[in-house]
Chains A and B, each alone.
Chain A
Amino acid sequence: MILNINDQALTPYQSRVKILSIVLAVFFVVLISRAWYLQIMKGGYFKERSERQRIRVERVVSPRGEFVDRNGVLLGDTKPGFDLTITLEDVRDLDQTLARLSQLLGIPASDFYHTIRTARENGVRVFQPIRLLSNADWETVALIEVNHLDLAGVSIIPEPFRNYRDGDLFAHLFGYIGEINPAELMSGAYRNYRIGDVIGKAGLEKSLESYLKGRDGVHQIEVNSVGRVIEEISYRPPESGNRAVLTMDYDLQKALEDAFGDYAGAGVVINPNNGEVLAMISRPAYDPNLFPGGIAKEYWRQLILDPKHPLTNKAISGQYPPGSVFKIVMSIAALEEHKVTPNETLYCRGYTFFGGRAYRCWRKQGHGAVYLHRAIVESCDVYFYEMGQRLGIDRIAYYAKGLGLGNLTGIGMDGEKPGLIPTREWKKKATGEPWYPGENLSAAIGQGYVLVTPFQLADLIGAVANGGTVYRPQLVKRIENYKGETLKAFSPQVLSQIHISPETLNLVRDALEDVVSEPQGTGGKARINGIRIAGKTGTAQVIRMNQQGEKMSKELAEKYQDHAWFVACGPMEKPEIAVAVIMEHGGHGGSAAAPIVRKVMEAYFKKTGRMVEPPPELRPASLPSDMHLSQAANLIGVSGEPVKKR
């Protein structure tokens, strides 16, 4: 029937029709061959491709574990949030989609391109969602949902969002979180992580990452070509991260913050009997809530450029000369090494000469006859210059290091600085020059090469309180799972112990107590009625005094003002807390830093019920601080001998 054309002679038309039918037959063969090629020869490949784009495995991010303080006060948790993501494979026209998105959200499209390019460079596949916006607000979510027809491939994904309840209060302790970067992925420390995952980048968020992370859920979904979910195939819910019970005390932290006001600096409160950190602050701070995902560029720039370094945790990373606080070390060293007896009297004229150079006492007119107790109470520089000469730097260094200075504290947070306690050997190595005897004098009053961190000074005063033990700082008491079961408990760890005889300890403690309680003491502003506190002021010089020894802080620009230290512990019957505070450019320790320490201690003693009556706001302290002392001396016409070279 078909092509049955041989029974008659072909007309010219018919021969051409025959040619045509051959051509058509060839076409049909081509079609079948093509189907054979696609379906039989490459069927497996296409089958795999169709499977892959049909079923998508999406992770459901687990909520990070909570932070609570030692009393169970909730400090950090998560709240529900939404991420705006884009899946490139589902996008029909990227330019158009991003232009529309940009128009809807008022965000420049270039930001989106940048994010996408970065993600692609880091190996994000076309079928994996890329996070464009983190923690999108309701308005954004609504806008995207309403316009989803124009936005194929753009999705809103619910994601738990880190919520630090008190903003910047615990900023440096918690650190911050952010998306894992390629370097971190390659480091091997993050084995089960993928690009786009959020990790702890600093602070406890980083050091407790493995506990806080939790286990992501898996959502197997069937999607259509624009990435919209058709059906859920399987779902494994996420497991929340574990709760970290901190050693911190919310009330003390708050008291410390309130006392600091707008000043820059750092403060540390520890329990000297076990190394637990009760409060730790570094000012100015940042708001870690603004970090995860897309931290606003402007905010980041501001933080980076801020001359007060809000990103640095100054409590462990700020290195300052300890100033007169170092005299605690000097006293212990001199007594233990028998370089001085408690009763030996030296004469302070306001300066001393050594190697042809004048070394001044902070009190121009001098302290007159001083023995150890008075030298500590009135912070006489000349007395300790002599101790420096008698001890020599290496003996000084032995005690300083034994009391926790110049070493990492063992707190285990990134960015910690060791400070510096110089030795002869160190100087030779570092500068190639020998140690000059005159440098013993600078070191003796905590200047020169000596650098410490606020935390180290808390350890120092803690060691005075507990008799010579330095504990490893402990930030976390235990880790609990969501049922409240303890997974891991942390116990105190002794980092180092130095032998101090009871006599030495008593002498130094008595003197430090008088620093706070005596009228001539430099730390009068830390006094709390009814509670025995031991403390020491310190002033870390930012610039050297001029030749006349006159440096009127008020006339100097803030940035040239000295840093003010105050360290204290108490109650002295049986010390429970040790505090170190530095106020950058605060002036003199006694006037600026001591009141902060007092407020924190008051908060502690009120909480523990040892202080019942509210303390009077201002007490008339006859000579409350170094600076006031000298000013008072000037006022009553007592003038020191002018310093002259002989």
Chain B
Amino acid sequence: MLDRRLITHFDFGFLFLILFLSLIGVGAIYSASHFAGSPPSALYLKQLNWIGFGLIALLVTVSIHYQTIQRYAYVIYTVSVLLLIIVAFKGRTGMGAQRWIDIGPLTLQPSEFAKIALILALSRYISDARDRGIITLSHYGVMGILIGIPLILVARQPDLGTTLMLMLISLTLIFIAGIPIKILLTGGIASLGAVPFLWRFLKDYQKQRILVFFNPAMDPSGAGYHIIQSKIAIGSGGFLGKGILHGTQSQLRFIPEQHTDFIFSVIAEETGFIGVLILVLLFAYFVFWGISFALKSYDDFSMLTITGLVSMIAYYVFVNIGMTSGVFPVVGIPLPFISYGGSALITLFIAAGLILNIRMRRFQGG
């Protein structure tokens, strides 16, 4: 299956970039979970394990021809939707939302995999429609249903961050598919009408977070607390930062969720603007490198899938850094490759695996 030509076409540079970002993450987690006076935390070691699992998942993904994956796109989509339904009825509740499902010793978050499944299904559908000719309004209707099912299931968990991600990814793919701007605008306005509907799904703390975003002074010691403390952490980092393990905001636990969603604050505090600049440029490099793959891809499915996956990771970065630095409401999105967390990391490695898979087989399409 893996012949010599594939290995020569494998983009090791791209893989190294991903691993480099992940190791930055391990360092940041070490710092974020290291507290003066406490025994050293093993979180960074666990993250290393997750990276190991991620690499295995990446290799497995790479080893299956992307056209096989394309063929099974709807099956993958269906399984993913079923998992979401199971979670809705039997899932474990955490932090007021039903998101997790226990499979043996593993705890899975099906909404993570739903994003990739949706990208695959939409890419397959769009490329199929495209092969048969022009994309009609009814095609957009089917796409709407494909998007809508996981979206509603995730929204009612409620998982604000993933819902937002699914919406952004879908919008991107529909846009790439060449949807007339008129229809896009109409759909956009129509979906505004769904906002009150979506609002009803939200838990109080989520509503609070959004309201606070628009007015952080509303509750400086409550919901606004996260944003304020995070901004203090980032801002106080200054140009060069306070030094690794010397971020006072993070070392003294002023930052909430600092090894997961708010890890950017820790990095920004300890490495300053220089560190932030390097990190953001690394992500930008990753994103535009990925987009260059998309533009040079062999078929529509390849291009759509890569664009979907790359833009998904880009949105993660925007929303996460945006929320930690106070330009976006706190919705609970991790920083890709950096934040602590198994499900998210494995999903990202699978996404990277898919990109490398398509990239590697660009000369042997079907």
| Bound form: Cα–Cα A230–B222 in Å | 22
Question: Is B268 a contact of A39 with CB atoms below 8 Å?
Answer: yes
Question: Is B236 a contact of A47 with CB atoms below 8 Å?
Answer: yes
A-B contact pairs, 26 of them (CB 8 A): A2-B291, A2-B292, A5-B292, A13-B304, A16-B178, A24-B311, A25-B288, A27-B314, A30-B322, A35-B280, A38-B235, A39-B234, A39-B273, A40-B238, A45-B235, A47-B235, A47-B238, A50-B233, A50-B236, A53-B232, A54-B252, A54-B254, A92-B222, A224-B253, A224-B254, A230-B37
Q: B residues 319-358 with Cβ under 8 Å of A? A: 321-322, 325-327
Question: Is A30 a contact of B327 with CB atoms below 8 Å?
Answer: yes
The reply to whether the CB of A117 lies closer than 8 angstroms to some CB of chain B is no
Residue-wise interface mask of B (157-177) relative to A, using a CB-CB cutoff of 8 A (1 in contact, 0 not): 000000000000000100111
Question: Is B280 a contact of A32 with CB atoms below 8 Å?
Answer: yes
The reply to whether the CB of B209 lies closer than 8 angstroms to some CB of chain A is no
Residue-wise interface mask of A (75-108) relative to B, using a CB-CB cutoff of 8 A (1 in contact, 0 not): 0000000000000110111100000000000000
Name the 4 nearest CB pairs between A and B, nearest first.
A46-B235, A50-B236, A225-B254, A43-B238
Question: Is B252 a contact of A31 with CB atoms below 8 Å?
Answer: no
Q: Which residues of A contact B255 (CB under 8 A)?
A: 225
Question: Is A17 a contact of B291 with CB atoms below 8 Å?
Answer: yes
| Bound form: Cα–Cα A31–B327 in Å | 9
Q: Which residues of A contact B326 (CB under 8 A)?
A: 34, 38
Question: Is A39 a contact of B221 with CB atoms below 8 Å?
Answer: no
Q: Which residues of B contact A45 (CB under 8 A)?
A: 235
The reply to whether the CB of B110 lies closer than 8 angstroms to some CB of chain A is no
A94 and B221 in contact (CB under 8 A), knowing A16-B175, A20-B176, A35-B325?
Answer: yes
Q: Which residues of B contact A126 (CB under 8 A)?
A: 221
The reply to whether the CB of A191 lies closer than 8 angstroms to some CB of chain B is no
Q: Which residues of B contact A223 (CB under 8 A)?
A: 252
The reply to whether the CB of B229 lies closer than 8 angstroms to some CB of chain A is yes
The reply to whether the CB of B276 lies closer than 8 angstroms to some CB of chain A is yes
| Bound form: Cα–Cα A35–B233 in Å | 11
The reply to whether the CB of A14 lies closer than 8 angstroms to some CB of chain B is yes
CB of A55, distance to nearest CB on chain B (Å) = 9
Counting chain A CB atoms within 10 Å of each CB, the highest count among B300, B303, B322, B325 belongs to B325
Q: Which residue of B lies closest to A153 (CB)?
A: B221
The reply to whether the CB of B20 lies closer than 8 angstroms to some CB of chain A is no
Q: Which residues of A contact B175 (CB under 8 A)?
A: 16, 19-20
The reply to whether the CB of B239 lies closer than 8 angstroms to some CB of chain A is yes
Question: Is A40 a contact of B273 with CB atoms below 8 Å?
Answer: yes
The reply to whether the CB of A222 lies closer than 8 angstroms to some CB of chain B is yes
Question: Is B176 a contact of A38 with CB atoms below 8 Å?
Answer: no
| Bound form: Cα–Cα A366–B96 in Å | 96
How many residue pairs between the two chains, A and B, have CB atoms under 8 Å in the bound complex? 163
Q: Which residues of B contact A51 (CB under 8 A)?
A: 236, 248
The reply to whether the CB of B216 lies closer than 8 angstroms to some CB of chain A is no
| Bound form: Cα–Cα A223–B252 in Å | 7
The reply to whether the CB of A436 lies closer than 8 angstroms to some CB of chain B is no
| Bound form: Cα–Cα A456–B311 in Å | 94
A46 and B314 in contact (CB under 8 A), knowing A4-B292, A13-B178, A32-B276?
Answer: no
Question: Is B235 a contact of A17 with CB atoms below 8 Å?
Answer: no
Q: Which residues of B contact A36 (CB under 8 A)?
A: 273
Among B291, B304, B322, contact of A21 (Cβ-Cβ < 8 Å): B291
| Bound form: Cα–Cα A233–B289 in Å | 49
Residue-wise interface mask of A (222-236) relative to B, using a CB-CB cutoff of 8 A (1 in contact, 0 not): 111110001100000
Question: Is A54 a contact of B248 with CB atoms below 8 Å?
Answer: yes
Q: Which residues of A contact B273 (CB under 8 A)?
A: 35-36, 39-40
The reply to whether the CB of B284 lies closer than 8 angstroms to some CB of chain A is yes
Q: Which residues of A contact B305 (CB under 8 A)?
A: none
The reply to whether the CB of B2 lies closer than 8 angstroms to some CB of chain A is no
Question: Is A230 a contact of B307 with CB atoms below 8 Å?
Answer: no
Q: Which residue of B lies closest to A18 (CB)?
A: B295
Q: Which residue of B lies closest to A223 (CB)?
A: B252
| Bound form: Cα–Cα A32–B236 in Å | 16
Q: Which residues of A contact B194 (CB under 8 A)?
A: none
Among A31, A91, A94, A226, contact of B321 (Cβ-Cβ < 8 Å): A31
Q: Which residues of A contact B303 (CB under 8 A)?
A: 13-14, 17
Counting chain B CB atoms within 10 Å of each CB, the highest count among A35, A42, A91 belongs to A35
CB of B172, distance to nearest CB on chain A (Å) = 7
The reply to whether the CB of B318 lies closer than 8 angstroms to some CB of chain A is yes
Question: Is A24 a contact of B235 with CB atoms below 8 Å?
Answer: no
A21-B291, A51-B236 given; 12 more Cβ-contact pairs under 8 Å: A2-B292, A5-B295, A16-B175, A18-B295, A20-B176, A24-B288, A28-B287, A39-B276, A40-B238, A44-B238, A46-B234, A47-B235
Question: Is B280 a contact of A24 with CB atoms below 8 Å?
Answer: no
Question: Is B235 a contact of A31 with CB atoms below 8 Å?
Answer: no
CB of A309, distance to nearest CB on chain B (Å) = 45
Q: Which residues of A contact B177 (CB under 8 A)?
A: 13
The reply to whether the CB of B150 lies closer than 8 angstroms to some CB of chain A is no
Question: Is A50 a contact of B249 with CB atoms below 8 Å?
Answer: yes
| Bound form: Cα–Cα A5–B287 in Å | 15
| Bound form: Cα–Cα A13–B129 in Å | 14
The reply to whether the CB of A49 lies closer than 8 angstroms to some CB of chain B is yes
Q: B residues 266-287 with Cβ under 8 Å of A? A: 268, 272-273, 276-277, 280, 283-285, 287
A21 and B288 in contact (CB under 8 A), knowing A13-B178, A40-B238, A47-B238?
Answer: yes
Question: Is B239 a contact of A39 with CB atoms below 8 Å?
Answer: yes
Q: Which residues of A contact B307 (CB under 8 A)?
A: 17, 20
| Bound form: Cα–Cα A3–B287 in Å | 11
CB of B97, distance to nearest CB on chain A (Å) = 19
| Bound form: Cα–Cα A529–B309 in Å | 112
Q: Which residue of B lies closest to A19 (CB)?
A: B175
The reply to whether the CB of B231 lies closer than 8 angstroms to some CB of chain A is yes
CB of B30, distance to nearest CB on chain A (Å) = 19
A42 and B37 in contact (CB under 8 A), knowing A3-B291, A24-B311, A223-B252?
Answer: no
| Bound form: Cα–Cα A38–B276 in Å | 11
The reply to whether the CB of B1 lies closer than 8 angstroms to some CB of chain A is no
CB of A510, distance to nearest CB on chain B (Å) = 79
| Bound form: Cα–Cα A28–B288 in Å | 11
Question: Is A17 a contact of B238 with CB atoms below 8 Å?
Answer: no
The reply to whether the CB of A305 lies closer than 8 angstroms to some CB of chain B is no
Q: Which residue of B lies closest to A44 (CB)?
A: B238
The reply to whether the CB of B294 lies closer than 8 angstroms to some CB of chain A is yes
Q: Which residues of B contact A9 (CB under 8 A)?
A: none
| Bound form: Cα–Cα A35–B273 in Å | 7
CB of A229, distance to nearest CB on chain B (Å) = 10
Q: Which residues of B contact A5 (CB under 8 A)?
A: 292, 295-296
The reply to whether the CB of B36 lies closer than 8 angstroms to some CB of chain A is yes
Among B176, B253, B283, B296, contact of A16 (Cβ-Cβ < 8 Å): B176
| Bound form: Cα–Cα A25–B314 in Å | 10
Among A13, A24, A30, contact of B287 (Cβ-Cβ < 8 Å): A24
The reply to whether the CB of B237 lies closer than 8 angstroms to some CB of chain A is yes
Question: Is A3 a contact of B235 with CB atoms below 8 Å?
Answer: no
CB of A224, distance to nearest CB on chain B (Å) = 4
Q: Which residue of A lies closest to B36 (CB)?
A: A230
The reply to whether the CB of A618 lies closer than 8 angstroms to some CB of chain B is no
Q: Which residues of A contact B280 (CB under 8 A)?
A: 28, 31-32, 35
The reply to whether the CB of A609 lies closer than 8 angstroms to some CB of chain B is no
| Bound form: Cα–Cα A1–B303 in Å | 16
The reply to whether the CB of A12 lies closer than 8 angstroms to some CB of chain B is yes
Question: Is A89 a contact of B292 with CB atoms below 8 Å?
Answer: no
A35 and B234 in contact (CB under 8 A), knowing A3-B292, A43-B239?
Answer: yes
A92 and B225 in contact (CB under 8 A), knowing A20-B172, A35-B277, A230-B37?
Answer: yes
Among A31, A47, A50, contact of B322 (Cβ-Cβ < 8 Å): A31
CB of B64, distance to nearest CB on chain A (Å) = 25
Q: Which residues of A contact B252 (CB under 8 A)?
A: 54, 222-225, 230
Q: Which residues of B contact A3 (CB under 8 A)?
A: 288, 291-292, 295
Among B176, B249, B325, contact of A17 (Cβ-Cβ < 8 Å): B176
| Bound form: Cα–Cα A548–B99 in Å | 98
| Bound form: Cα–Cα A30–B249 in Å | 24
Q: Which residues of A contact B249 (CB under 8 A)?
A: 50, 54
| Bound form: Cα–Cα A212–B138 in Å | 88
Q: A residues 186-201 with Cβ under 8 Å of B? A: none
